[in-house]
A = this chain, B = another copy of it.
Amino acid sequence: MPEERAGQSERLKNGIHTACLVCPIRLNDHFREFSPGELEFVRSFRKGEFHADAGTTILVEGSHSAHLYTVLTGWGFRYKILEDGRRQILNYVVPGDMIGLQGAVFDEMAHSVEALTPMRLCVFERDRLLSLFEKHPGLGYDLTWIASREESMLDDHLISIGRRTALERAAYLLAFLDDRGRVSGLTGEDKAYLPITQAHVADTLGLSIVHTNKTLKKLVSRGLIRWLDRGCEILDNFGLQEAANWKPDGITRRPFI
């Protein structure tokens, strides 16, 4: 597992670690700004940086992690596996998302997290989580915001898997991911490329791979997406939203830690 701590090589500049200075999330307009005090605290809360290759398992179900992470760059996903191997992808993670919070708040993780692309993660010490609430109530509030937002995404996934047809589900998922990619800065103005295989789509939607393939072809033939080697290109996000009968939340400014 390729791990790097960038902490030791960081230099100070105006009292702020260069790491936070060049933080890709802070530089993204979709995220809110820190007050100087908050930034200073987050800087001290931060323990270093973790680099994961594509395919790396970052957190494992059943483990007790000493760390919390905020995604800085790259795509990943959270999943669970049943004893006989059936896998369910619960959600995807993008820059600004926090992972490992469940492991910090309960005894152990109830799901695993894996990188879809190379990822950079900001590492925090879970022991100091309570002091975050004590010293910066606003950041504590933001954590609750982030957890509620995750909850609301899971609600959307649930109604999709439970009540939408295969075609609607697929359209929903791709529109949803495209939206997340844009908001988190993973995608620019261009057509989005989602770094997922059809197996990921299947395991997210609760479908078999074969049927997922046939369903995606329908979206292709409608001109909504293109399927590339190991990923999907979104041609018409709005068309996907219509096919799914779903709309993204219109949240413009998001907190992060």
Contacts and interface: CB of A to CB of B under 8 A. Distances in A.
Interface of A: 78, 80, 82-83, 86-88, 90, 101-102, 105-106, 110-111, 129-130, 133-134, 137-138, 140-141, 143-145, 147-152, 154-159, 161-164, 203-206, 245, 249, 251
Nearest to A78: B155
Contacts of A163: 82, 86-88, 206
A140 B133 CA distance: 7
Given A133-B141, A161-B161, A151 B151 contact: yes
Nearest to A103: B148
22 contacts: A78-B155, A80-B159, A82-B164, A82-B245, A86-B163, A88-B159, A101-B148, A106-B148, A106-B251, A110-B155, A130-B138, A130-B141, A133-B144, A137-B137, A140-B140, A140-B141, A143-B144, A144-B147, A147-B147, A147-B148, A161-B206, A162-B203
B161 A158 contact: yes
A171 to B, nearest CB: 13
A161 B154 CA distance: 12
Contacts of A133: 133, 137-138, 140-141, 144
A90 B157 CA distance: 10
Given A90-B158, A158-B90, A110 B206 contact: no
A136 to B, nearest CB: 9
A151 B88 contact: no
A102 B152 contact: yes
Contacts of A87: 163
Q: Which interface residue of A90, A129, A130, A150 has the most chain B CB atoms within 10 A?
A: A90
A203 B162 CA distance: 8
A37 to B, nearest CB: 14
A157 B158 CA distance: 8
A246 to B, nearest CB: 9
A151 B154 contact: yes
A90 B159 contact: yes
A88 B154 contact: no
Contacts of A102: 148, 151-152
Q: Which interface residue of A106, A137, A145, A151 has the most chain B CB atoms within 10 A?
A: A151
A205 B155 contact: no
